[in-house]
Amino acid sequence: MALQLRGHAVTLWAERLPPHTTSDIAAAFWYPYKAEPRDRVLGWARSSHARFVALAADPAAGIRVREVIEVLRGPTAPPWWADAVPSLRPAAPGRLPPGITHGWSFEAPVIDTRMYLPFLRTWFERSGGVVQQRRLHSLAEVSAAALVNCTGLGARELCGDSTLFPIRGQLVHVANPGLDVVMLDEDDPAGIAYVVPRGDDCVLGGTAQPHAEQAPPDPDTAASILARCTSMVPALADAAPLGHVVGLRPGRPTVRLEADTLADGRVLVHNYGHGGAGVTLSWGCAQEVCGCLEAATGSTPPR
Ligand SMILES: Cc1cc2nc3c(=O)[nH]c(=O)nc-3n(C[C@H](O)[C@H](O)[C@H](O)COP(=O)(O)OP(=O)(O)OC[C@H]3O[C@@H](n4cnc5c(N)ncnc54)[C@H](O)[C@@H]3O)c2cc1C
């Protein structure tokens, strides 16, 4: 989308399209989680935050800016990503779950992927972008003058990248009992817990199992997620269950965002391995991809 907005003629090839991608599964609230390296992630997260806040002005985008409360087990220094949000402050005691005395509060976008991904596709196509559903067996199959590789976990096969690994995540969807604050506890001894109110529903998480491949939702895991989230947000006790989902985050020691070349000399920019923060980093990475591609091809945007 960012390339198209800069005036390049973009064709997107994808084997799977929404609603069948990892990005569809994401709880999709802004939070830099399981993505490295921190110095680059900070910049990408900051500019994506600003972009999502601006996009939230359009109700069709499915983005709401919500207060996020991060639960802490005691006083701690500000998180490493504090500079990426304009509004980090200690949470007011009345906003914290029962028995918790410390927490951070900040504003962050919650992206309802059910609306946002179709919105993005419509915007892309109306701006002249072309979408083709197609599985690639080699990047060289693509006839374009330059390529951007955003294949997520698919780069394991497509590029033979053995440093990529899945981080399995399971989520529970329930009807929204009237919540409008995101609650997050990364330090619950039983596992990470988060409650992400979208509109009509809430996404409850979660799990992060490295090297676990796709498997159906596990009922015991779902029960544990519900228990952790309900102890943090008691209003969920009677929330009607709506469904269970599992997805594989594209884990990598570091995000791969760099220029490369194909054997025939064409420019290739890789942009994959965003772990648990692909949505959080999306616009910032896309902006850097534009710069990388234009520097490597010597092209300036046509408009
Ligand atoms: C349970 C869960 C919760 C999450 N929560 C959050 C969150 O709250 N916030 C956040 O920021 N992130 C979250 N994430 C992480 C986020 O979903 C991922 O980082 C992000 O979706 C990765 O996006 P991507 O475009 O790289 O990969 P994908 O969404 O997987 O897209 C890759 C695309 O490449 C295509 N492709 C791959 N191989 C080929 C091939 N050979 N030929 C053609 N096409 C190919 C695929 O078909 C697909 O269209 C979560 C993930 C999970 C699983």
Per-residue pLDDT of the chain (303 residues; tens, 9 = 90+): 999 999 999 999 999 999 999 999 999 999 999 999 999 999 999 999 999 999 999 999 999 999 999 999 989 999 999 999 998 999 998 999 988 999 999 999 999 999 999 999 999 999 999 999 999 999 999 889 999 999 999 999 999 999 999 999 999 999 999 999 999 999 988 999 999 999 999 999 999 999 999 789 999 999 999 999 999 999 999 999 999 999 999 999 999 999 999 999 999 999 999 999 999 999 999 999 999 999 999 887 655
DSSP assigned state of 160: -
**Closest C-alpha among 35, 299, 272 to residue 149:** 272
Q: Tokens at residue 28, please?
A: 């999709």
The residues that bridge with 217 in the sheet, in sequence order, are none
Beta strands 130-133 and 193-197: pairing type? unpaired
Query: Do you find a cis peptide bond into 19, omega within 30 degrees of 0?
Result: yes
Q: What is the pTM of this model?
A: 0.96
Torsion of CA 59, 63, 68, 70, to 10 degrees: 170
Give the mutation target among 49, 70, 150, 151 for probing the ligand 1 site: most ligand atoms within 8 A of CB.
151
250 lines ligand 1 (CB under 6 A): yes
Residues 183 and 97: beta-carbon distance below 8 Å: yes
Please state, in angstroms and rounded to a whole number, the distance separating the CA atoms of residues 133 and 147: 16
E strand or H helix that includes residue 219: helix 219-232
Domain boundaries, the chain: 2-297
User: Which residues 6+ apart lie within 8 Å of 210 measured at CB?
Assistant: 165, 166, 167, 251
Nearest CA to ligand 1 atom 18: 278
E strand or H helix that includes residue 119: helix 113-126
Task: Tell which atom from ligand 1 comes closest to the C-alpha of 29.
Answer: 8
Give the mutation target among 15, 68, 117, 202 for probing the ligand 1 site: most ligand atoms within 8 A of CB.
15
Task: Tell which atom from ligand 1 comes closest to the C-alpha of 17.
Answer: 49
- State whether CATH 3.30.9.10 applies to domain 2-297: yes
Residues 28 and 111: beta-carbon distance below 8 Å: yes
Place of tokens 């500019």: 47
Report how far Cα 136 is from the mean position of its chain's Cα atoms.
24
Residues 153 and 271: beta-carbon distance below 8 Å: no
